[in-house]
Chains A and B, each alone.
Chain A
Amino acid sequence: AQSVTQLGSHVSVSEGALVLLRCNYSSSVPPYLFWYVQYPNQGLQLLLKYTTGATLVKGINGFEAEFKKSETSFHLTKPSAHMSDAAEYFCAVWVAAGNKLTFGGGTRVLVKP
């Protein structure tokens, strides 16, 4: 069965600093990978996805993620944090055999002025 681990349940960054959120997955077959963001009292919004092809994926709001098969990782980055990036971020993996989306535990991002 597939699984997702997000390192760090809370991350604090200064406005303008790099945002780096770590995600490692476990899957015996090629996965589809997703990052979602959840703002307070809202549902999850898709930031970006990797299915096949180019391993560097660009998403909305200036975020990007790189699929590294050798490291089974799909870390999310943004060069310069903005106050509006304060939210909870979820990494998720889907494989055909399981036919379900498995989410990591989430990382809450705090942006300091």
Chain B
Amino acid sequence: DSGVTQTPKHLITATGQRVTLRCSPRSGDLSVYWYQQSLDQGLQFLIQYYNGEERAKGNILERFSAQQFPDLHSELNLSSLELGDSALYFCASSGGQGGYEQYFGPGTRLTVT
């Protein structure tokens, strides 16, 4: 158990819909990262927040957005969903802004039908 929690574990929704994925980092960790894992794209970095502020951006679509709240939990919002958005979404946390090992949550499996 990494100490990072993610909810829900599974999510099935239809195209065009909007969903919110939630992540709670390890106690004391200030950085939260979001990743997307799919068979064709592999593991892709989406976005990082540090203590409530966006710190780094990866291959995140404009239809996706994230935020980190004062209690340090984070949410990833996915809107106008397409079939190709079906993937595993991981959250990870670390103690610093970068370069430190990241601890991954169990993931949320999103299926868009």
Contact = CB atoms under 8 A, between A and B. Distances in A.
A46 interface: yes
Contacts of A46: 101-103
Q: What interface size band does chain B fall in?
A: 20 to 34
B107 A43 contact: yes
A34 B106 CA distance: 19
A45 B107 CA distance: 12
Given A94-B98, A96-B98, A45 B2 contact: yes
Interface stretch (B13-21, B41-49, B73-81): B41-49
Given A34-B101, A100-B48, 15 more contacts: A43-B105, A44-B92, A44-B104, A45-B2, A45-B104, A99-B56, A99-B98, A100-B45, A101-B33, A101-B102, A103-B42, A103-B45, A105-B42, A106-B42, A106-B43
